[in-house]
Amino acid sequence: MTDSPLQIAQTDAIRTITVNRPEKLNALNSATLDALDAAFADAERDPTVRVVVLTGAGPKAFVAGADISEMQALSANEGRDFSLRGTRMMRRVERLSKPVIAMVNGFALGGGLELAMCCHLRIASDKAKVGQPEINLGLIPGFGGTQRLLRLAGRAATLELCLTGVPITAERALQLGIVNRVVPADTLETATTELAQQLANASPIALRGMLDCINVGGECGIEEGLEYESAQFGLMFSTEDMREGTTAFLEKRPASFKGR
């Protein structure tokens, strides 16, 4: 559909989801949140998809935030519902069993940074800026920003970004652990594709197991996390991918994983 807020394309096992509202700097309104939720649900179900890349259309923004023109008229109850809507979608992304890479090509502010943070990996252009500027609107982050930023960057950085609302450069975001890599703007797409292809060539079962372990470990005590990891490790031994991977290593050849 020409009026869809997303563009979706797939090359081999890599699906790219692009927030396509460049005239609004890809701001997140309700329709876009719902479309993203449906797109990630479809990527989860589709066996041809091994990796998802998420980005924004146009040269200026990944996602510049939530759509203020829609938010401005909301009541308290409607505001809470809007927050829950975004939180559910981002939780789906975070819990996806396939790696999700945020390709941050410009501004990632407010809801845009929250969207990037729920992805598993983040590659940013050296021209990108990130921040949680909600304080300037008389608001607080509503899509998990205080919680994910705290876990990624720590208390001091979270307080600074949220209380001042001042965006930071991609390089500072890298130093704080908010993004994984920063590359020149003209190599961003190539660098993202190379990483996505590396992950697409890996065992889907092992990737899913690692994502599960890291998600569980980040939300429980160390003993529970270690027990869960051991259980997942044992399950790998029942897979064809594990036999292929170990055999390929011993035979000094690249592995060909089938996801079985």
DSSP 8-state assignment for residue 98: S
- Exactly one of 114, 160, 227, 229 is catalytic; name it: 114
SS3 180: coil
Helix (H) / strand (E) element for 124: namely strand 121-125
SS3 22: helix
Among residues 15, 1, 6, the alpha carbon closest in space to that of 46 is found at 15
d(Cα 1, Cα 237) in Å, to the nearest integer? Answer: 44
- Exactly one of 44, 94, 134, 240 is catalytic; name it: 134
Catalytic site includes residue 114: yes
The per-residue DSSP string of 26-75 comes to: T-B-HHHHHHHHHHHHHHHH-TT--EEEEEESSSSEEE--B-HHHHTT--
d(Cα 67, Cα 85) in Å, to the nearest integer? Answer: 14
d(Cα 251, Cα 226) in Å, to the nearest integer? Answer: 31
Catalytic site includes residue 223: no
The CA–CA distances, whole Å, from 91 to 96, 103, 158, 215 equal: 8, 18, 20, 11
SS3 197: helix
* Catalytic residue ranges: 114, 134
